[in-house]
A and B are shown apart, each in its own frame.
Chain A
Amino acid sequence: MAFQLAFAVLLRLGLALSPLRLILKDDDLLSSPLTSHSRLREGIYLFQHGIDPYSGGTFRHSPLFLSTFATVLPSSGVVCALLWLLVDAAGAWALVQIWRARSRLKSSRRDEVIAATYLLNPYIFLPSLSLSTSTFETTLHLISLMFASQGQASPALLILAISTNLSLPSLMLLPPTMLLLLTDPVSHLASPKPFPAKLTKTLPLLVEFLAYFAVLVLACSLVAGGWGWIESTWGAGILLPDLTPNPGLWWYFFTEMFDYFRPFFLMVFTMHLLIYVAPVCIKYQHDPLYATFLLLGIIAIFKPYPTLSDPGLFLSLIALFPETYPHLRYPIVTTLLHLHAALLLPLFHHLWLATGTGNANFFYASTLVFGIANGGALLDCAWAGLRVAIGEADERWVVLQE
């Protein structure tokens, strides 16, 4: 097993140093306008030349990225590729820690498998090769979940505040993270029970999160020299000014939207993303880690500017819940749909924009297939998470929903 892990790391190292990253650099599937490395470098260039990068539409990264990459972290060259690999490795490590916390084991034979599902997941390592900053967001999600699983409230909330600052939809993870901090990460899927702790205990956690968040916002405003960054970064996720294609559902919908319906549908799409939080947290109140997992899947499908690393995180997290595997209804279909979409997305993107022999509808159709694939995985996991409670059924019994 250790050998396999070493192989995974070496393979990733080889890929990180290969010229593949130059080809993937501006790939629309791997980096969205909010996470593109080229745009990050443009923002740093403008910042260093005394031009407010948030006065235009090219740069949409958080000021946290701007300040760290303009000062401490490298933003170009091989060092940069190694940094992204390191961040990915940290994500894999955090995922293993979550697994250990959930299975209450110091170490297990499954650790390497879990690390490998993360490190060798193409949806995770391709965005990392293209130096998309979504790699940082993914890793921060995992580290926040890791701290929450270990019951360390302050680091978990601080890191969640950072990842919310980097990408606003992460705010949806706050309720399940707080529930997780009040309970334990151990699997309770098989024995559903009402939430054991008092909900009023979430209040101090909420205040702590808001304090971290406010401090980060203030720090960002200091870096950016004003409040203009809010519209450029978070506003982009609500107003969708940049219609660059991505594997999500928003871009073509709002490219083709009638102008007078645009504000209405922007409101509907934003609200739609939010309405899942409460039901998922209520239904899975006995296992908040599973609720977080499902919410990550929902964010990956419905967020405004997704990259492949968002569904990648959701799919890698499936490794944490082996107890649900026997109850998945159609894993083969979902896998085939994913395979189908993963082949069609880059192909049709190339046909439309590079060779000019296909049109936008081809790519749009494959994003729909990708949406169905992710939705299929999400629904199956949601079903399996509830179905575990009933246990094995023999031939004389059928489990249905009333």
Chain B
Amino acid sequence: MQWLFLFSIALATCSASWAAHIDEEYNEELVLRALPNGKLAARFAFSTLLKGTTPRPPTKLSSDDASQHYTLFPLALGQLLREYAVTELHLTLNAGKWDYDSWGYPDEPGVGTGAELWTWMGDGAPTSIDERWKAIQNAFAGLFCASLGGMDTQRTTSPTRAFPPTGAMPHNARLRHATLPAENVCTENLTPFLKLLPCPAHAGIAALLAPHRVFDADWHGLGVHVRWRAGVGVELVLTVQAVMDPVRTSVEGKRDWSLRSLFDRTVPRACPVASSSHIKVFPPSSAVALALTPEPFWKGAAEAVYEVSQDTSDLDIAMRWPEEAKFTHPDRNLSSLSDFSVRRTLQGTTQTHGRLTVVLRNNRQTEIQTLYLETMPWHVEFYLHTLTVTCLGGKPCDHLFSNMTYIPPVPHAKPALLQAVLTLPPLATVRLSMNVRKSFLRYTEHPPDAQRGWELPPAVFIPVDSAARRMYTSPLLVDLPTPDFSMPYNVIIMSCTLIALLFGSLFNLFTRRFVVVKVYEDVARTVDVDDTKRK
């Protein structure tokens, strides 16, 4: 009888919790990839899945939302997603330039310098897409302590060909995309980021994220990715990527590394709520013998897998090359890890005009087709009629540039959006070049440090057959002509004086009569014009 009672209580509790809570699943993974040039690419992925849920339909934004109870999913983020009915969202905050040639493709493709935010939202809500987009920026700016509020309409585009949804979409989904290449990433962004994790900094893989080491990396970036997996649920993946240089920190110049040497931490214990927690190590594909300690849980063809389980304590993975006294950097030009290499430059010495040049080199024996995307603030206007596409030896090959769509910029309001398909013949170098005109801004539109110049967003290349291998170029710095910032009153005074002078003189001339004055013996007598005529 007692058993039956206890059982019924347990059943009641369970059913109550089923009613109130959504089934959640939390997985974490760390991928460590030793690169041929001695560096180590680390990628942390913390994914939380809200099983069986769907994003809030935008049409129901006016009615009250169901109350939200999460145990693992971060409430702050969940509330924002439901408040603005966001179906898919990607936010990345990166610092540095990802070197595709020597590092290969990143595990998370969003590696553009600075901040990048793009969302897919369903239309049909009482508030417009753009209002929600603005609200999301402000909310995320607050959540991650980043200046995302600068992503106004002057930076927002909708490049649907380049950023297709990665999950399921509601009816009438719209894309909003913006980048802030000048945004810096630092501890103030990482701290709120870690707070969204179920086991922040104490247990599990997240314990490795010591700010002073992550931000010491050659390249580092944070990412928030939300998508709706149809039939499965809403998935949130928080990622941290970093490219570390063990050779730089090593006294002997060796590329040996361990978790402690990289992160100044070890994995102290497993995160108790994690369904799975893996560390994958990919050694470089070289003939030099290496030693991996401790012994991996499972060893595949290319990778070694460690499982962080309940009996793990102070896991410190180390990789050593015992026979290598000193690491010698391989020849950089030997081979590129990416299918093609891109270099984008802005040339020209004047502050009014310049020439934008993109040089692409196909590193493969096969033809590559790639989508080329430029989102350019209105500060720099393209002269598309000067666009030239040249191959080896300056030979024109305009046929390689096709399927162009272009939205011209609107001054003080909207950026330009240029999308086109580029075909790269095998092992060919293609040079794309066009004139640009730099705009003149109102004095209030310049930032406080106007002489520093403006960062232009990176161009994005998306191979037509592998959309996940998105490539970003480095951002550009453009020097725009500046007015004198101390002059507003002077200019108003001086221009108005000139206008008043001319107006006054003409007014004088038009309203006063001509008279002829006779001058004799200091007595002036005025006579009317008509009188003089009569004489």
Where the two chains meet, the residues of A that have a C-beta atom closer than 8 Å to any C-beta of B are: 26, 28, 38, 41-42, 44-46, 49, 51, 53, 55-59, 241-245, 249, 251-259, 272, 276, 279-280, 283, 301-302, 352-354, 356, 359-361, 364, 368, 371-372, 375, 378-379, 382-383, 386-387, 389-390, 393, 396-402
Contact = CB atoms under 8 A, between A and B. Distances in A.
Given A352-B481, A353-B350, A382-B506, A252 B495 contact: yes
Interface stretch (B19-27, B330-338, B512-520): B512-520
A399 B516 contact: yes
Contact of B519 (A59, A302, A396): A396
Interface string B495-530: 100110111011111101111111110000010010
B444 A259 contact: yes
Q: Which of B378, B385, B407, B520 has the most CB atoms of chain A within a 10 A radius of its CB?
A: B385
Given A57-B378, A378-B502, A383 B509 contact: yes
Given A253-B492, A256-B488, 5 more contacts: A279-B506, A360-B483, A368-B495, A397-B516, A400-B515
Interface string B464-507: 00000000000000000111100110011011001101110111
A57 B483 contact: no
A195 to B, nearest CB: 16
Give the dominant DSSP class at A's interface.
helix
Contact of B514 (A259, A302, A379, A390): A390
B441 A402 contact: no
A38 B434 CA distance: 13
A396 B350 contact: no
B156 to A, nearest CB: 16
A57 B410 contact: yes
A356 B506 contact: no
A311 to B, nearest CB: 13
B349 interface: yes
A359 B409 contact: no
B383 interface: yes
A249 B515 contact: no
A38 B509 CA distance: 42
B352 A28 contact: yes
B408 A53 contact: yes
B71 interface: no
Interface in B132-181: none
A386 B384 CA distance: 53
A301 B440 CA distance: 21
A49 B382 CA distance: 15
Contacts of A386: 509, 514
Nearest to A364: B491
Interface string B440-452: 1111100000000
B108 to A, nearest CB: 34
B462 interface: no
Contact of B502 (A49, A301, A354, A364): A301
B316 to A, nearest CB: 55
B410 A56 contact: yes
A257 B505 contact: no
B416 interface: yes
